[in-house]
Amino acid sequence: MHLICGGGGGGGVYFHRSCALWLLVILLPQCWVAVSSQYEGEQGMFYSNNDQGGQEQGMFYGDDDQSWSGGAFRGGAFRDDRERYWRESNPDPYPDPNPSQLQQPDQVVSQQQIPNQPPQQIPQQVQNPNQFPQQVQNQNPNQPQVQNQNQNQQQVQNQNQNQQQVQNQNQNQQQVQNQNQNQQQAQNQNQVVRGFYDQSCPSAESVVRRTMVDSFRRNPLLAAGILRLFFHDCFVRGCDGSVLLDRKPGGPIPEKESDVNNNSITGFRVIDDAKKRLERMCPGVVSCSDILALAARDAVWISGGPRWSVPTGRLDGRVSLATEADNEIPPPDLRIRDLRKAFLAKGLNTHDVVTLSGAHTIGRAHCPAFEDRLYNFSATNAPDPTLNLSLLDSLQKICPRVGNTTFTVSLDRQTQVLFDNSYYVQLLASNGLLQTDQQLLFDASTAGLVRAYAADSSMFFRAFAKAMIKLSRVGLKAPGEGEIRKHCRRVNP
Ligand code: HEM
């Protein structure tokens, strides 16, 4: 690990793993943390640029490892908020949360809101589909001509009426179809409920929480990995655990090997670990997609963010395609209009774009995710003019022009592993790392909310919890469309 602090040079200091346990979260304002690429399960040497143009090397640990090694900041104190939190307020590190402190599941997406009116008008019209032939049969050919003319006029009128009726019927059938679709969606959404496993696997949530706490102790960076994993799962075929599936021999390339995910997505082993524990306790009961949704919630909470009640009862999907991930997950240089469209396609609005982007208060990005902003923004052969100059300078040192694909930089310049509102504060200072982040301040539809969240962290926390519940309901599988996988990396035989 290498740290660049306030323009000073110097290398990182590496602690023995027993010390590292007491340094769960190390936070120092103004420190810019660049960590080498840490792919899960890997362990070995890392190479990282230092801010004087040289390179450093040391050990890194993937989430397979039993320890996480923190760095020390030369000349700075560190805060150990999470560890203090655990020791002082939680003698038992895995208590059940106090329900009154949890954000309740979002009632916005409930059957109440989705139109559920009985299709009253339709049956009446559907009852008389033969009206027109009946009227034609009733014509009497022996009546005087005038009468016939009147009758004919009447017929034309009736024909018009009937055409109108047919049109109405079609419209109403369409309405019925739409209502059915909405009801289906509502049913799928309502199939997830709070406390779904209370009877069938009462320890489900605490097992996931314990697994997350253990993983976080080994490597706090994994919390960010899990949160991103959940987002990428929900944006492709809904929150169905499809991102967790490995490639089958001879099968198509799965989501996890897509360009957008490959080599940058982490956290699979944490989910495997939780699943293994749960399968021992309640086999075949807890879905992988639920484990991921719960783990993402816990990732935020462990990192200092809000906690909410996750509705559970999801089913796992059986299909995972890299092409879909590359098409549906927004790239970091997407313009705000298209970004909003991408979210809208998943039932998420502009408010949700701003709120969920706040997830970038933790974690890091690899150089290629923002490289064009440093050297060739929008094919101008110049840096992004909205980028803070001192940030530009630091980033150009870490990410040289000739592609460095392995070095990473904190998404939130101030606090990499603390979930707080400083991501928005950084946007106000033009310190947003990704183009999709920074442009939230420059668009009229999003700037107001960025400022509001920067000023009020509890407003951000409340909104984030709500938006995550909304995200967790995207594209749920209906009964019969999914399964409860025995192993999160494979569909059931
Ligand atoms: C708004 C559209 C979004 C875009 C364009 C975007 C893009 C990115 C990119 C390019 C990275 C860096 C990946 C890398 O280089 O390793 C990243 C990291 C991350 N993203 Fe997003 N993201 C978006 C929304 C979200 C959402 C909605 C969430 C979660 C709710 C999320 C959570 C994260 C996290 C936690 C990381 C850090 C991952 C780590 O450190 O391992 N992102 N995102």
Q: How far apart are CA 72 and CA 2, in angstroms?
A: 10
Q: Which of 42, 226, 231, 310 to mutate to test the pocket of ligand 1 (most atoms within 8 A of CB)?
A: 231
Residue 11 lies in a domain: no
Higher pLDDT pick, 447 / 26: 447
Q: Specify whether 366 is catalytic.
A: no
Which structure tokens are listed for 333? 């240089």
Residue 407 lies in a domain: no
Burial call 260-292: b when 16+ CB within 10 Å, e when fewer: bbeebbbbbbbbbbbbebbbeeeeeebbbbbbb
Residue 316 lies in a domain: yes
Report which residue type is found at 473: R
Q: Whose CA is nearest to atom 33 of ligand 1?
A: 228
Residues with CB under 6 A from ligand 1: 221, 224-225, 227-228, 231, 264, 266, 330, 332, 334, 339, 353, 356-357, 359-360, 362-366, 369, 411, 434, 436
Atom of ligand 1 nearest to the CA of 227: 35
Q: How far apart are CA 240 and CA 208, in angstroms?
A: 17
- Helix, strand, or coil (residue 123): helix
Atom of ligand 1 nearest to the CA of 434: 10
Q: How many domains does the chain have?
A: 1
Helix (H), strand (E) at residue 31? strand 31-34
Residue 426 lies in a domain: yes
Does position 228 have pLDDT exceeding 90, yes or no?
Answer: yes
| Residues 275-319 pLDDT 10s | 999 999 999 999 999 999 999 999 999 999 999 999 999 999 999
Q: How far apart are CA 212 and CA 44, in angstroms?
A: 23
CATH code for position 267: 1.10.520.10
Q: How far apart are CA 128 and CA 285, in angstroms?
A: 49
Residue 177 lies in a domain: no
Is 300:306 a contact under the CB 8 Å cutoff? yes
Does position 448 have pLDDT exceeding 70, yes or no?
Answer: yes
Would you say the C-alpha torsion 319, 324, 325, 326 has a positive or negative sign? positive
Range of the domain at 279: 194-362+413-471
DSSP state of 112: T
Looking at 69-129, list the stretches that DSSP marks H as alpha helix, in order from N- to C-terminal side.
81-89, 121-127
Q: Which of 37, 63, 227, 228 to mutate to test the pocket of ligand 1 (most atoms within 8 A of CB)?
A: 228
Higher pLDDT pick, 151 / 8: 151
Radius of gyration of the chain (CA): 28
Q: Whose CA is nearest to atom 2 of ligand 1?
A: 330
CA of 296 relative to ligand 1 center, distance in Å:
13
Atom of ligand 1 nearest to the CA of 436: 5
Residue 116 lies in a domain: no
Report which residue type is found at 93: P
Residue 198 lies in a domain: yes
The torsion of the CA quartet 246, 249, 252, 256, rounded to 10 degrees, works out to: 20
CA of 224 relative to ligand 1 center, distance in Å:
9
Q: Which of 232, 351, 360, 487 is catalytic?
A: 232
CA of 235 relative to ligand 1 center, distance in Å:
12
Is 213:280 a contact under the CB 8 Å cutoff? no
Is 232:475 a contact under the CB 8 Å cutoff? no
Q: Which of 5-9, 278-282, 304-308, 332-336 has the lowest mean pLDDT?
A: 5-9
Residue 417 lies in a domain: yes
pLDDT of residue 406: 86
Atom of ligand 1 nearest to the CA of 330: 5
- Mean pLDDT over residues 174-189, rounded? 60
